[in-house]
Structure 1
Amino acid sequence: MSDNCPNCSIIYKIYDVGYVFIATETEAIQQKLLSMPTLKESQLINYENEQIITISYESKKMLKSLLEPLQDLENSDKDNIAIAVNNVSNASYLHFIGYPYFHNHIHYEKVLEYIYHGELKVALQPIIDLETNKLLGYENLLRTTMPSEIGPKELFETASITGTHSYLDKRAREEAIKARSNLIPPGVKSFINFLPSTIYNPDFCLQHTFSIVRKYNVSPEDLIFEVVETEKVEDVKHLKRILNTYKASGMKVALDDVGSGYATLEMLRELQPDYVKIDRKYISHCEADITKQQFLKKVVEIAEQLNIFVLAEGIERAEELQYCKNIGMHYAQGYYIGRPTTQKKLISHP
Structure 2
Amino acid sequence: MDTQTKSCIECGLPFPIRDSGFLSIFDQKQALHNLNGVYEQEGDLYYVPYVSKQALSQLISTIEETCDVSELMVFTGKYKVRNHAVMIPFGYLRERVENESLVQFISSGNFISHFQPILNLKDSSIYGYESLLRSGDEHFNISPGQLFQVAQSTGLFSLLDQKARETAVQSRVNNIQEGVKSFINFLPSTIYNPDFCLRHTFSVVEKYNVNPEDLVFEVVETEKITDVDYLKKILNTYKRSGMKVALDDVGSGFATLEMLQLLQPDYVKIDRQYISYCDQDSEKQQFLQNVMHIANSMGIKVLAEGIEREEELAYCRSIRVDLAQGYFIGKPAPKPLQMNRFLY
CA 1:33 to 1:300, structure 2 compared with 1: closer, same or farther past 3 Å? same
Q: TM-score if structure 2 supplies the norm length?
A: 0.90
| Larger Rg belongs to | 1
From 64, 84, 87, the equivalent of 1:71 is 64
Q: Deviations over 1:54-73 (max 9, x none)?
A: 23222x12211122123335
Cα deviation for residue 51 of structure 1 reads: 6.2
Cα deviation for residue 26 of structure 1 reads: 4.1
From 263, 267, 272, the equivalent of 1:271 is 263
Structure 1: distance between partners of 2:254 and 2:223? 9
CA contact (8 A) 1:311 1:329 kept: yes
Structure 1: distance between partners of 2:100 and 2:235? 34
5 Å matches for 1:283-294? 283-294=275-286
Partner of 1:56: 50
Structure 2: distance between partners of 1:51 and 1:258? 49
Structure 2: distance between partners of 1:135 and 1:65? 55
Letter aligned with residue 263 of structure 1: A
**Which deviates more from structure 2 when the two are superposed, residues 96-105 or residues 137-146?**
96-105
Structure 1: distance between partners of 2:223 and 2:133? 16
Q: Deviations over 1:49-96 (max 9, x none)?
A: 5562423222x122111221233356xx212433332325x6787854
From 6, 14, 19, the equivalent of 2:17 is 14
From 117, 128, 131, the equivalent of 1:137 is 128
Partner of 2:313: 321
2:218 counterpart SS class:
strand
Partner of 2:35: 33
Cα deviation for residue 23 of structure 1 reads: 4.4
CA 1:185 to 1:192, structure 2 compared with 1: closer, same or farther past 3 Å? same
Cα deviation for residue 124 of structure 1 reads: 0.3
Cα deviation for residue 115 of structure 1 reads: 0.9
5 Å matches for 1:241-260? 241-260=233-252
Structure 2: distance between partners of 1:22 and 1:286? 57
CA contact (8 A) 2:223 2:255 kept: no
User: Cα RMSD over matched residues?
Assistant: 2.5
Q: Deviations over 1:102-161 (max 9, x none)?
A: 212212222111111010010000001112111101000000135764221111111222
Q: Deviations over 1:254-308 (max 9, x none)?
A: 1011001110000011111111000001101110011111111111111111111
Identity, in percent, stands at 47
CA contact (8 A) 1:120 1:143 kept: yes
* Runs (5+) with no aligned partner, structure 2: none
1:254 counterpart SS class:
strand
* Runs (5+) with no aligned partner, structure 1: 35-39
Q: TM-score if structure 1 supplies the norm length?
A: 0.88
Partner of 2:72: 81
2:224 counterpart SS class:
coil
Partner of 2:90: 99
1:337 counterpart SS class:
coil
CA contact (8 A) 2:265 2:300 kept: yes
Partner of 2:27: 24
Structure 2: distance between partners of 1:165 and 1:85? 20
